Chains A and B, each alone.
Chain A
Amino acid sequence: MIAPTFTLRHLGDHCLSLDFGDAILAETGLICLAATEKIREARLPGVTDVVPSYTSVAVHYHAEPQTGLPNFQSLSESLTALIRAGLAPATHAQRTVDIPVCYGGEHGPDLSDVAKATGLTEQQVIQMHCAPGSMVFMLGFAPGHPYIGIHDPLFALPRRDVPRTVVPAGSVAIANRQSTIYPTRLPGGWHILGATPLKLFDLARPQPTLLLPGDHIRFVPISSAEFDQLAAQQNQVQA
């Protein structure tokens, strides 16, 4: 059991935030996930969504007069008591998901730029990106869109000066020591290293998102031919 320190603040009159740190660190991310699980399991009246992010957990709530009316004060007290009672380490974090990625070429237009910017060869960039220890901190921006980290400081690249108006679905991209995977065609300013044929979000699946906060991620390099083969398989499953 862990009993982390935290602070509480409102995010308006129907959401509050529990803050567990002010830097993007794996330990802090895991605490946020453990707190998320504990709060969700407590099924507090009026709470609709528990949303973990890098350093905080947003708790969205409705005032429900018929069930005891949580307001900021009362919900703060309930949440404080919950967290003080101690958190079990996040269980989601035990899942490991392999993400096959075809690096470079048409799927990874920014691989050579990233190699130049980091002073590495393209092969070294791929190796470093596939290094173990990556975790999904949160999903946001679009359905199933993961924020994965935290990579080697060499990958502390700012976003591109001019964002692309369209990034293809499945693109795997980095910025600020993090990776993301675009679930659908979206605008984006991250550096695209490659693409995965896997579907990140699919309403036809019982669990529509491929990834969940806390998942360990293993990026696995694949060839262009393997990409096409896996993409075809994904579409067959769809049909």
Chain B
Amino acid sequence: MATHGKKQVNRSPVDWWLFVLGFVLFAAVGFWATPAILYAEKPQPFQFSHKLHMEQVSEGCKSCHAFRKDGSYTGIPNLEKCKECHGEDPNGQTPEEKVFAKEYVAKDKPIPWQVYAKQPPCVFFSHAAHIANAGMECAKCHGDHGKSTKLRTYEYNRLTGYSRDIWGWSLIPLGNPPKRMKMDDCARCHRDNGVRDACFVCHK
């Protein structure tokens, strides 16, 4: 059999380990680099313990995150709501409360919380429909936020500006709310519960 003058190189199976090495190494680099490339952090104005507050109030989440009379949802309580309890001691007791009192209560300045669950502006979301009508628990979407002793790091997507909680903290798209809050999760839950999942149900 003619070889046309080409030199035959005897290759050992070890050569293929180079392929595997490249694959594993760069997959790992991808996993390691993805959060660093895509997300940035923003600090919260000061620390806050949901657990501590839950121990002080009588009506659970509803004590601060309430519905208005017209059925709309207050979301994160405004300064006036905080002052209902914190107004008596203008200096505060803990270091965090001192920041709160000095920077916000004294200056009557709204607290610029970074909102973990904030959805893009192209969708409607009615808390009344989910909590009051469907009887869902807050934790179904927000997790055990009410039991946390401190606020975790807020991360946002560098490209879109949306909170990382929307896409989810897992790097592979697995899991359900409260681990992630993407459109697919909303649609799945709607379907599972016999609620329409047409575009205009949520999208403006």
The answer on A and B forming one complex is no
Instruction: List residues of B whose CB falls within 8 A of some A CB.
Output: none
